[in-house]
Amino acid sequence: MKTKVLFFLLVGILAGAQTNRFFYEYKFIPDSNNKEEVKKEMMLLDINKNGSAYYSHDKFVADSTSRAELEKQINSGSGNISVNRRDRPGQVSYKITKDYPDFKTYLFTNISTDKYKIKEDKKPEWKILPDKQKIGEYNTQKATTSYGGREWTAWFSSDIPFQDGPYKFYGLPGLIVKIEDATGSHIMTLVGNKKIDGPAQDKEMQLPDNVRILGMGGKELEITKDQYKKVWKAYVNDPTKNMREMMMKSGGDSNTKVAFKMKTADGKELSDPNQVFKEMEKRTKETLQKNNNPIEPDMTK
């Protein structure tokens, strides 16, 4: 009898340590003036007993590879650190987490050199409709909501017992299998799933005190959505402000050397800080013009 009790306890522990990973194909149109250009990204929704995380597969792989290379360089003790940009770093840089059971939702994102954690202050309010259809192998039912400045139509399956979904969407009696905004600019569709053992993601790497690498290490600054909007507007108006401030601070520290180098579109290498910042500002503004159709328009107003 003791053996059976121990066996059941072990099964319970193993089950609790498992993560359900759902694969979503995310199709999106970044430029509302060029609707023919549709991009795709494979997104992961990892669900366990504590909550869920939604993030880019390509970015996860690229970050894991960069982290392993960086740890190897730091552990070698050579003092020289080189960080290379990955070939496929992922097109979607943000991550969304939800904490169970109350579904506290957070957006993790970067603006320039700073990392932010933004708590969501609104939850999706759904209208469940009688319409039903089969999507892939799943029997689904229709629901609609207005969220983030867009009108959304979702199809959820009660056969999958998770009241969760991609991005910030949750609260339906079953997993969201597909969700699409009214303009067809953002579509997320479930294309597969599997179970994995242990935690879903690697822990954030802790860098030595004397090492700072953009986009790695360090803690996110937790801010409200209103604060985020102000930070975003300031960035759009002056994209290189953070980089210039970093260079000014390092100028007074004899132990710190910051060098900025980049190449222009025609291959010319720039090393003069003023030229580098000018080129960065030009590229950033061009990128912003071509990425004018965000998933949540309300976040950038």
List, for residues 9-56, the tens digit of each pLDDT value.
Answer: 333 334 456 899 999 999 999 999 999 999 999 999 999 999 999 999
**CATH of residue 193:** 2.50.20
Tell whether 144 is covered by a domain. Answer: yes
In sequence order, which residues have a C-beta less than 8 Å from that of residue 283 and are 6 or more positions away?
none
Tell whether 261 is covered by a domain. Answer: no
Tell whether 15 is covered by a domain. Answer: no
Q: Which amino acid is at 74?
A: I
Find the mean pLDDT for residues 250-271: 61
- Domain range spanning residue 103? 20-224
pLDDT of residue 47: 97
Tell whether 235 is covered by a domain. Answer: no
- Using N-to-C axis directions, what is the helix angle for 273-290 and 241-251, rounded to 10°? 160
Query: Rounded to an integer, what distance in angstroms lies between the CA atom of residue 108 and that of residue 215?
Result: 12
Question: Which strand (E) or helix (H) includes residue 59?
Answer: helix 57-76
Tell whether 99 is covered by a domain. Answer: yes
Beta bridge partners of 221: 116
Tell whether 280 is covered by a domain. Answer: no
For residue 193, which of 40, 11, 27, 46 has the smallest C-alpha distance? 46
Tell whether 298 is covered by a domain. Answer: no
List, for residues 147-176, the tens digit of each pLDDT value.
Answer: 999 999 999 999 999 999 999 999 999 999
For residue 241, which of 112, 61, 100 has the smallest C-alpha distance? 112
Q: Tally the domains of the chain.
A: 1
pTM (global) more than 0.85 = no
Tell whether 57 is covered by a domain. Answer: yes
Q: Which two tokens stand for residue 188?
A: 């997320």
